[in-house]
Amino acid sequence: MEGTIIEIPFGSSVKYELDKSSGLIKLDRALYSAVYYPANYGFIPQTLAEDDDPLDVLVLCQQAVVPLTIIHARAIGLMTMIDQGKKDHKIIAVATADPEFNSYREADEMPPHRLLMLRRFFLDYKQLEGKEVEVDEIQATREAYPIIKAALERYRKQPPNSRTSL
């Protein structure tokens, strides 16, 4: 996954997102719960997920990565949520430039606690907003690739004037 773009650094309790019109990062909200992002969070450019946003990626890395950084990441799994009635896929990936994580090829090679933290964050982070989400178990890499391919294709099928450059 060349060119994954980070929006939210690992450890943040603030949700940022890319403002498509300006290309800058904007504050979406401070998280309502006493939780923090368990990985760097971003998206794959020029994709369109089922929730009409670019495809989300959680990039495991030792360090928090500054928003708008382009990072090379390798998919190691897939986590699917149902958020407000829509599927919201999250690609689980590792930063290939990080020696602590770059040897992982599958999510199930990771320490089990790390995977529990990823899933638990998404189960909990909207609870105090009164919103419920469902989060499936983390799946293998082979489940992630068709989701990535479909999101790339969905983006390409948009009329050119409705696409964002990212």
Domain layout of the chain by residue ranges: 4-155
pLDDT in tens, 2-50: 789 999 999 999 999 988 889 899 999 999 989 999 999 999 999 999 9
Sign of the CA dihedral 132, 37, 20, 5?
negative
* Amino acid in the structure at residue 35: V
- Separation CA 165–CA 28 (nearest Å): 21
Q: How far is CA 32 from the centre of its chain?
A: 19
Joined together, the tokens standing for residue 56 give 């989300």
Q: How far is CA 109 from CA 87, 114, 140, 141, in A?
A: 26, 10, 10, 11
pLDDT recorded at residue 165: 63
Q: What is the pLDDT of residue 161?
A: 72
Q: Is the pTM of this model over 0.75?
A: yes
* pLDDT, tens digit, 9 for 90 and up, residues 59-117: 999 999 999 999 999 999 999 999 888 899 999 999 999 999 999 999 999 999 999 99
Query: Would the pLDDT of 160 be above 90?
Result: no
Question: What is 62-86 written as a DSSP string?
Answer: SS---TT-EE-EEEEEEEEEEETTE
Q: What kind of architecture, by CATH, is found in domain 4-155?
A: Alpha-Beta Complex (3.90)
Residues in CB range of 59: below 8 A, 6 or more apart: 4, 6, 39, 40, 41, 42, 65, 71, 73, 93, 94, 95
Report which residue type is found at 96.
T
